[in-house]
Amino acid sequence: MKKPSRLPGGKPQGAREVAMSVLHNVEMLGAYSGLELNQALQASELSRPDAALATELVYGTIQRLNTIDHDLKSRVKGWPNKIEPWVRSLLRMSYYQLRWLTRVPAHAAVDEAVRIAKKRGHAGIGGLVNGVLRGLLREGFAAVLPESMPAAERISLTHSHPQWLVERWISEYGESVTEQMCTANNEPPHASARVNRMRASRDQVVAGLTDAGMEAIASPLAREGIIALKAGNLVHSDWYKQGWITVQDESSMLVAAVASPKPGMRVLDCCAAPGGKTTHLAEIMRNEGKIIANDVHPHKEALIKQQAERLGLTSVETMTGDALELPKRIEPQSCDVVLLDAPCSGFGVIRRKPEIKWNKTAEDIESLSRLQSELLSAVQSLVKPGGVLVYSTCTIASEENESTINRFLSQHPDFTLDANWPEEVLTPIRESGKLPETFAGMLQLLPQMFGSDGFFIARLRKQSQ
């Protein structure tokens, strides 16, 4: 079988060609949208407005994929499989732009798409693209879906999520919550960062960003979190370079806070790269004690070390290897806190990585759930009597979350759920009405709750001997 190649026709020029190239490579090569886009933008040297346009075209097109395909199927013979891949990407991107990106004049979008089609292909492809897009402008977009359509199919097409996933969510959360979740997944994520309590206070950083002309507010969810609007990429800011902040989602910040390690403790982060939770643990411990940060990928060890060095944290010790093998490398019952931020399906971060919803399957959820159970069973042996085990994922699949924890508890009766979470974590969740009345020590955050990632966190305690 011939291996798919990158987009033919030379280096992309302009925002739309760059976006088309990224979309092509995400679909045909399985590239990650964020990484592929960053590489393409660096290579293209687009202006800031053009880079913003390319970014919106990429993420918007992937987000709305099956809504777009549903409409184009009735307009383009053989859509989508009989259409050349790069032409698919061009038409999808142009459809998205005409329907949802209304600040760009329609004639400009059509003219540019036809120009790209002729440049990359030939006059016939240019004619196809021109005919399809002008037909859309003339006839309008997809008609209103019939009221008789089943809820899962309607939500799937309205909010562009795979129907199998919508059906799962409806069965678990109900139709209304599922629709809210799908709506939230199509909204752009806001930029957030965690303030390094060893270097500055949150008020200092918010004031500094505000003085620099950026919009910054304190996170209502995470104690050290800030939300930055119109701030650009915070990784390029002086606050980041000087180790005052770490770019991290607000939900993710809660994981180390729930672990609540104390200065002087010995802590293990089993799947640590790129180091966001590891360094947060070290900051909470005021850089006193030891955090062992393990990851299976040797090339990611450097990322953890770089983060710790940038933040001035000397208590972090890195190692590489399969987390299943950690009991062979670390003394049993030697850790006060063990954090397992497990590999997962990632359905809580669709807003940031929209291709996840198209690439993952129900079979992936099942296999990941088995792996997560194996990992928990392996690393629990490293927790001291009376110590804490925290399990987290960035997904909203119950098999990977509540079911995994319940199965673990049935197999390891020396562990119990621990609802004694720090009040700084519980208060904003309780005040927003999102804390279950039956809260026992595990919590599922959904993306529409706080505008942050969907996350699952469970805190377990090992009984004292």
Exposed/middle/buried for 247, CB within 10 Å: 0-12, 13-18, 19+? middle
C-alpha distances in angstroms, 383 versus 267, 330, 373? 9, 11, 16
Q: CB-side exposure of 96: number of CA atoms within 13 Å?
A: 28
Q: What is the DSSP letter of 422?
A: -
C-alpha distances in angstroms, 308 versus 57, 253, 451? 35, 16, 28
Q: Which residues are annotated as a binding site?
A: 271-277, 295, 322, 341
Residue 228 bridge partners (DSSP): 191, 216
Q: Which amino acid appears at position 161 of this protein?
A: H
Cβ(275)–Cβ(298) below 8 Å: no
- The H or E element spanning position 43 is helix 33-44
Cβ(229)–Cβ(210) below 8 Å: no
Which among 135, 184, 141, 132 has a CA at the least distance from the CA of 160?
184
SS3 call for 158 = helix
Q: What angle do CA 12, 13, 19 make, to 5 degrees?
A: 60
Cβ(418)–Cβ(376) below 8 Å: no
Catalytic residue among 270, 335, 344, 394: 394
Q: Which two tokens stand for residue 57?
A: 């075209």
C-alpha distances in angstroms, 378 versus 261, 323, 329, 414? 21, 8, 12, 14
Q: Which amino acid appears at position 23 of this protein?
A: L
Q: Which residues are annotated as a binding site for S-adenosyl-L-methionine?
A: 271-277, 295, 322, 341
Q: Which two tokens stand for residue 263?
A: 């200065």
C-alpha–C-alpha distance, residues 451 and 131, integer Å:
39
Which among 128, 129, 60, 67 has a CA at the least distance from the CA of 97?
60
- The H or E element spanning position 89 is helix 85-100
Confirm whether 335 is a catalytic residue: no
Which among 362, 276, 359, 408 has a CA at the least distance from the CA of 65?
359
Residues with active-site annotation: 394
